[in-house]
Amino acid sequence: MVWGGTAVRVVRRRRVGGGLVSGACVLALVATVGGCGVGGGSGDVTLRLVAADYGTSSANSSEKYWANVVDAYEDAHPDVRVEVSVYSWNDVDRRVKEMVDAGDAPDMAQIGAYADYAADGLLYPADDLLSISAQADFAAQLADAGRVGGTQYGMPFAASTRLLFYNKTLFQRAGITPPTTWEELAADAAALKAEGVKYPYALPLGPEEAQAETMQWLLSGGGGYTDQAGAYAVDSPENVETFTWLRDELVGEGLTGPVAPGKLNRADAFSAFAAGEVGMLNGHPSLMRMAADKGVKFGMVPMPGVDGPTKATMGVADWMTAFKENGHGREVGEFLDFVYSEENVLAFSREYQLLPVTNSASQTMAGADTDKDLQPFLEELPLSELYPVGKTSWAAVSADVKRRIGAAVTSGGSPAGVLGKIAGTAVSAEGAASGA
C-alpha cells in the first residue's frame, strides 16, 4: 500500500428517465457493503466498488474523490449505478477477502494485492475490460507488475517511488552535503551524530513496513528480492553484503538512533523527521507534506549506492481488480475506462501526492509548474522496481521479512542466516503456490 485512511461509503443519487430519483442514499458513512434501495428499469446495472482510503482525515477522504467520479459517470450513463465503499488500509484487503469468501464479491476492488484472486480464476483479465487505448496508457513497468502468467489482472491505480530525504538545517549545522555513496552516507551520519542529532539515519525495519526499507537497500547494493529471471534471490551474495554493511557501518556505529531498527516503524520514523529529529531517511511523497506542515526544511536526492546513486529505486503500486462473479464485465470496463481518463488520474494523483499510473497523465504532470514537488519522484518511476506482487507467494515472503529482518542488523546478528531463513520461506511459499 502507498497510503492510509478511514472507512466510508459513497452512493450517489442517480438519474432515471432524465430525473433524479428521490430518497436515494447520498454520501453515507457505513461499515458494511449493501444496496440503498434505489430501483431502476429492467436494463439498469448496479456496480459495486470497494476502494482504499488515501486521505488523512474526513476532510480529504477518498470518499470525495469517488463521489466526483461517480457523479460525472452516472450523468453520462443513466442506466448504470455505481456504489463505492471506502475503507482504511487497515481494513480494505480483509473486507474484500471476507466478501469473496462469502460468495459476495464486489464488481471491483481497489486494494493492495491481486495475485491470489487471479490464481483462483476470480478476476477478469484487463484485456477483457479496458479499451486498447486505456490499457496501452499504463506505465510499462506498472502494467508488467500486474501480470500473472503473462496475463494482466492487476490494473495499477496509484504509484509511488522513494527518495532520500535530508534535513537541510541539520546538514548545514553539521557542515555536510547530501551523500551519493554509502561511504558518504555513513560519514554524514557520523557528523550528524556528533551534532547531537537523535536519528542521524532513520532505519525503519520494524514490522509495519520493513519490506519497503529492505528492498530499497537491496536495490542500492545491486541486489533485490528476485533475480533478473524473476526467481527469488533473497540470500544472494549482494544482499548479504548489503545487510552486513548496514549492521557494521551504520547500526554498529550507533548512527541509526536510540530505537533498534527492528522496532522502528516507518510511521514513527516519518513523524520523527517531521519533528526535526532525523537527519536522513528514505521517504515517499507524503513525507513532503508532513515535513512542510511542521516547518522542516528538507531536500531530496536519489538513494546512495555502493559507488554512486542507486541505479534502480523502489516503486510501489496499488491495484484495481475486477471480479467475474456478477458478470458485469462490459459495464465494469466502460466505467474503468472513465476512471483511467487523464483528467481523473491527474485529479487523484494531485489530491493525494501520488504518481500517475498512466503515460498521458505523467507527461502532463512532468510539464506542469503546479506539480514541481512530485517531479523528482516522477523522474524515478521509469527506473523503479516493484515488489514481486505477481507471485502468490509474495504475501508470505513479505510477512517473513517484516518478522525477521530487524535481527540481521543487531549486534552479533547474522545477515546470511536471516536472509537464508527468508529465502527458505520463499521456496516453501513458491512450492505451495505451484502445488509442489
Q: What is the pLDDT of residues 361-381, one digit of tens each?
A: 999 999 999 999 999 999 998
- Arithmetic mean of pLDDT, 48-74: 93
CA neighbours closer than 13 Å in the CB half-sphere of residue 170 = 29
- Arithmetic mean of pLDDT, 192-197: 98
Could you tell me whether strands 80-87 and 298-301 are parallel, antiparallel, or unpaired per DSSP bridges?
unpaired
**pLDDT at position 435:** 64
**pLDDT at position 431:** 83
Q: 281 vs 163, 217, 267, 308, 316, CA distance in Å?
A: 8, 11, 12, 17, 17
**pLDDT at position 316:** 92
Q: What is d(CA 64, CA 367) in angstroms, rounded to the nearest whole number? A: 27
| CATH architecture of the domain with residue range 163-302+393-434 | 3-Layer(aba) Sandwich (3.40)
**pLDDT at position 12:** 43
pTM of the model: 0.83
3-state secondary structure of 419: helix
**pLDDT at position 312:** 86
Q: Which three cell numbers stand for residue 372?
A: 514541481
Angle formed by the axes of helices 210-220 and 237-245, nearest 10° = 110
Which residues share a beta bridge with 385?
A: 314
For residue range 265-299, list pLDDT tens digits in order.
999 999 999 999 999 999 999 899 899 999 999 99
**pLDDT at position 25:** 34
Q: What is d(CA 247, CA 348) in angstroms, rounded to the nearest whole number? A: 40
With 50 as the cut, is the pLDDT of residue 173 above it? yes
Q: 27 vs 9, 24, 81, CA distance in Å?
A: 6, 10, 14
With 90 as the cut, is the pLDDT of residue 419 above it? yes
For residue range 292-314, list pLDDT tens digits in order.
999 999 999 999 999 999 888 89
How deeply is 22 buried, as exposed, middle or buried, from its count of CB atoms within 10 A (0-12, 13-18, 19+)?
A: exposed
With 70 as the cut, is the pLDDT of residue 242 above it? yes
Q: Compute and round to an integer the Cα radius of gyration of the chain.
A: 23
**In the 8-state DSSP scheme, what is residue 233?**
-
With 90 as the cut, is the pLDDT of residue 55 above it? no
Across 59-171, where does the E strand assignment appear? Answer: 80-87, 108-111, 147-148, 151-152, 155-161, 163-167
**pLDDT at position 434:** 67
For residue range 319-339, list pLDDT tens digits in order.
999 999 999 999 999 999 999
Q: 362 vs 143, 270, 395, CA distance in Å?
A: 15, 26, 29
The CATH classification number of 8-160+316-386 equals 3.40.190.10
For residue 84, give the nearest of 1, 12, 16 by alpha carbon.
Answer: 12
Q: Which three cell numbers stand for residue 379?
A: 523522474
Measured in degrees and rounded to the nearest 5, phi and psi for residue 113 equal -155, 155
**pLDDT at position 231:** 95
Degrees (nearest 5) of the Cα angle 285, 290, 292?
Answer: 95
Q: How confident is the model at residue 383 (pLDDT cuts 50, 70, 90)?
A: confident
For residue range 89-107, list pLDDT tens digits in order.
889 999 999 999 999 999 9
Q: 13 vs 24, 25, 41, 135, 377, CA distance in Å?
A: 5, 6, 15, 30, 38
For residue 392, give the nearest of 429, 421, 417, 355 by alpha carbon.
Answer: 429
CB environment 249-275: b (16+ within 10 A), e (fewer): bbbbeebbbebbbbebbbeebbebbbe
- Arithmetic mean of pLDDT, 237-248: 98
Q: How confident is the model at residue 33 (pLDDT cuts 50, 70, 90)?
A: very low
**pLDDT at position 331:** 97
**pLDDT at position 436:** 52
3-state secondary structure of 91: coil
**CA 205 to chain CA mean position, Å:** 17
Q: Which three cell numbers stand for residue 218?
A: 537491496
On whether the CB atoms of residues 140 and 358 are closer than 8 A, the answer is no
**In the 8-state DSSP scheme, what is residue 152?**
E
Per the model's pLDDT, the better-predicted residue between 326 and 34 turns out to be 326
Contact residues for 126 (Cβ-Cβ < 8 A; gap 6+): 135, 146, 152, 153, 155
Which residues share a beta bridge with 84?
A: 10, 49
Q: 58 vs 11, 26, 65, 239, 327, CA distance in Å?
A: 16, 16, 12, 42, 33
Per the model's pLDDT, the better-predicted residue between 271 and 56 turns out to be 271
**pLDDT at position 10:** 53
On whether the CB atoms of residues 202 and 257 are closer than 8 A, the answer is yes
**pLDDT at position 60:** 86
**Where in the chain is CATH 3.40.190.10?**
8-160+316-386, 163-302+393-434
